[in-house]
Structure 1
Amino acid sequence: MPAGPIRLMYRVYKYILPGVDDELARWRVKAENIPDTELRTQALASIETKRFHCQGGGVYAAANPPARHVLIPLIVALQTISDYLDNLCDRSTSMDGRDFRLLHQSMLDAVDPAAELQDYYARREESDDDGYLHALVRECQTRVSELPSYAQVQDEVRDLVGLYCDLQVHKHIRHEQREPALLGWWEENRPRYRHLLWNEFAAATGSTLGMFMLFLAASHPGVNRTEATRIRDAYFPHVCGLHIMLDYLIDQQEDREGGDLNFCNYYTSETELVDRISLIVTSARNDIRRLPGDKFHRMIIEGLLALYLSDPKARSQRDVVAITRRLMKRSPMTRLFFWANSMYIRSRQSK
């Protein structure tokens, strides 16, 4: 594990950003050749506008540089499936939960090296992607097979992917059905997470970070199932919840314009929103202390806050600017260091 933020960012600049760029360039070529116009549009948009999701996920490969040639392609492929399907569902020509369920079966198959590929577009009109989604699934299956301890973490990975898929189905069906479906789902899971609000649980299920951390663990030989469970419980729900609550925080204006559900809209006031996110930050910090290399995971938490709160979308919304000031108040130097690096990386890419 990198011992501090300077060492981590050295690896990010040297290995991770170039590796992610190479992988996304490869998938962009495939996306450009998708025959169906709608599928091609959403595939390309997911790569162009959500690049930072892959870059952020790629940081986990910085914790084991010798395994980066497996971890980076795996993380980029799974995140690209996630972002592509999210685009398809957000801007969908369908409102059918069965369609969304079948589309997201591809993510479950991607983390199961023995799974057979399916016709994931069978319940929608658009279907001709020239094998794009199948190629992404196969890439994930190939890469997880190369992780020496994947068999020990697979059940936990599948559990997190299953929750992710449930969320995507519930939050994309017809508007009048979304909240009842999400609340019913929450009632099934409430006994394990009584300290959370329903929207916070739902947000936590939307994160891929727990999956990526389990991939990192599986890149080392000798990991056992007890350790896999410990990792899962350290990341879910608080680290994962922080990730997606910050994502929703900066997307509020975009979601209002698109008519999309946003989990930050269910608080009674700005003060409650800040207090709840602050509580999740504290809980996430406490949770990761149970893991070896907890300094690395602490950097992940500070990096999340820096990455999202420095996003241009956060600076363009007056209410989010006010929330950002409150969340960034008395920030540790590590967070400010990651803030500066996030700004630099964005400025470099914009050129």
Structure 2
Amino acid sequence: MSYVEQGRYQVPRGPIGLMSRMYKHVLPETKQQLSNWKSKAEQIPDPELRSQALASIAEKTFHCVGGAVYAAANMSARQTLIPLIVAYQTISDYLDNLCDRSTSMNPDDFRLLHQSMLDAINPAAKPVNYYELRREQEDDGYLTGLVTTCQSCVSRLPGYEAAMPYVQDLAGLYTDLQVYKHIKPELREQALLDWWSLHKDRTPELRWNEFAAATGSTLGVFMLFLAASDQHLTDAGAASIHASYFPHVCSLHILLDYLIDQDEDRKGGDLNFCNYYKDADMMLDRIAYVVNRARADIADVPASSFHRMIIEGLLALYLSDPKVSEQQDVRAVSRRLMKNSPLMRLFFLLNSRWIRRLI
């Protein structure tokens, strides 16, 4: 019997209950955590590292707010889950900024930076100098502080021993992706294709860009953190959660993220997985396919209504983003994806717009 079936904590049954917890507890506590990390980022001596750390918090706050929704499913553990999710997502966003606007194009540098994400989920790991292979060095312990915060939090999750191998699998894929997508532009696509060839048997129904998108999501990791907040989590339960989120829920998350970032990535010369569809119609068809597969994957898992809210919330969150209205093709795809939306998605869309005003 899984952690949810045993009723060890009360998952919100519907959108109103979920958003009530978000507004009352999760959102203010997430903002406080981000404020604490912002204060630490402001003390970073190196101007480049300081700039990217502050920019990642200012521009990607919604990533932490969205991830912290998993803490709303176990309010008694939120004082561990919220700091953990915020710290882990902040590492992800900070390193993404460092690599996107990097002063280095060295894949070994990118891999060493992302070793911090692997160390963060292993309480026994000893932090190292993650900046060793780049010019910028002095961050006054900012990245190491994020790592040790995660380590402290996961060590307090009573079911983490069962979850850890599955968290490590997802974090390892995420690290590989970040290395290959940030190397020299002329090498990226072939490196990603070669990497996909090693893993495509895991997701035979997905195209290479859709698999890559799945590896770029932190949602599966956050769901495993939530599951690990119950001491009765088993290996079979953790495996089931991993399978219910990877690849389709995770792929949907990042495809939507890339959908709205197409103009921004084009201007920045950044790789965008939505650019590998021949036209907007194919992109819409494939995203719709991934949506349907994601719904099917979570249909039979315990507390499936919570995971359905996650999927509808993802669609609402990204399709309500102000970037959508600025891009004609994206606006057209968004309208078609939102057509005949269930009331739940519309409810989350309105709440997403409101939360953006609060953060």
Give the TM bin, normalised by the shorter chain: over 0.9
Partner Cα distance (1:229, 1:222) in 2: 14
Unmatched segments (≥5 aa) in structure 2: 1-10
Shift of 1:37: 0.2
Partner Cα distance (2:250, 2:258) in 1: 13
- Find 1:239's aligned residue among 239, 243, 249: 249
Shift of 1:315: 1.4
Shift of 1:152: 0.6
Query: Structure 2: which amino acid aligns with 1:303?
Result: G
Q: How does 1:92-171 map to 2 (within 5 A)?
A: 92-171=102-181
After superposing the two structures, state which structure 1 stretch, 313-322 or 298-307, moved more.
313-322
- Find 2:274's aligned residue among 237, 241, 264: 264
Once the two structures are superposed, residues 151-206 of structure 1 have per-residue CA deviations (whole angstroms, 9 ceiling, x without a partner) of: 11000000000000000000000011100100000100111211100000000000
Partner Cα distance (1:11, 1:209) in 2: 19
- Find 1:3's aligned residue among 13, 27, 31: 13
- Find 2:297's aligned residue among 280, 287, 291: 287
Query: Structure 2: which amino acid aligns with 1:274?
Result: L
Q: Which residue of 2 aligns with 1:48?
A: 58
TM-score, normalised with respect to structure 2: 0.97
Matched, 1:193 2:233: no
Shift of 1:348: 3.2
Q: Which residue of 1 aligns with 2:93?
A: 83
TM-score, normalised with respect to structure 1: 0.99
- Find 1:251's aligned residue among 250, 258, 261: 261
Query: Structure 1: which amino acid aligns with 2:89?
Result: Q
Matched, 1:225 2:225: no
Q: Which residue of 2 aligns with 1:296?
A: 306
Specify the SS of the correspondent of 1:142.
Answer: helix
What's the RMSD between the two structures over aligned residues?
0.5
Partner Cα distance (1:192, 1:128) in 2: 40
Partner Cα distance (2:227, 2:179) in 1: 29
Residue identity (%):
63
Once the two structures are superposed, residues 235-276 of structure 1 have per-residue CA deviations (whole angstroms, 9 ceiling, x without a partner) of: 000000000000000000000000000000000111100000
- Give the conservation status (yes or no) of the 8 Å contact 1:310–1:343: yes
Q: Which residue of 1 aligns with 2:326?
A: 316
Partner Cα distance (1:97, 1:2) in 2: 43
Q: Which residue of 2 aligns with 1:330?
A: 340
Q: Which residue of 2 aligns with 1:278?
A: 288
Partner Cα distance (1:302, 1:194) in 2: 25
Once the two structures are superposed, residues 62-93 of structure 1 have per-residue CA deviations (whole angstroms, 9 ceiling, x without a partner) of: 00001000000000000000000000000000
Partner Cα distance (2:354, 2:335) in 1: 20
- Find 1:25's aligned residue among 18, 35, 54: 35
Q: Which residue of 2 aligns with 1:66?
A: 76
Shift of 1:290: 2.8
Shift of 1:124: 0.1
Partner Cα distance (1:75, 1:193) in 2: 27
Q: Which contiguous aligned blocks of 4+ residues in structure 1 show a shift greater than 4 angstroms?
A: none
Query: Structure 2: which amino acid aligns with 1:320?
Result: V
- Give the conservation status (yes or no) of the 8 Å contact 1:214–1:228: yes
Query: Structure 2: which amino acid aligns with 1:323?
Result: V
Shift of 1:221: 1.4
Partner Cα distance (1:290, 1:348) in 2: 35
Partner Cα distance (1:315, 1:19) in 2: 31
Specify the SS of the correspondent of 1:196.
Answer: coil
Query: Structure 1: which amino acid aligns with 2:152?
Result: T
Q: Which residue of 1 aligns with 2:5?
A: none
Q: Which residue of 2 aligns with 1:176?
A: 186
- Give the conservation status (yes or no) of the 8 Å contact 1:164–1:207: yes
Partner Cα distance (1:14, 1:252) in 2: 34
- Find 2:349's aligned residue among 335, 339, 349: 339
Q: Which residue of 1 aligns with 2:7?
A: none
- Give the conservation status (yes or no) of the 8 Å contact 1:234–1:290: no
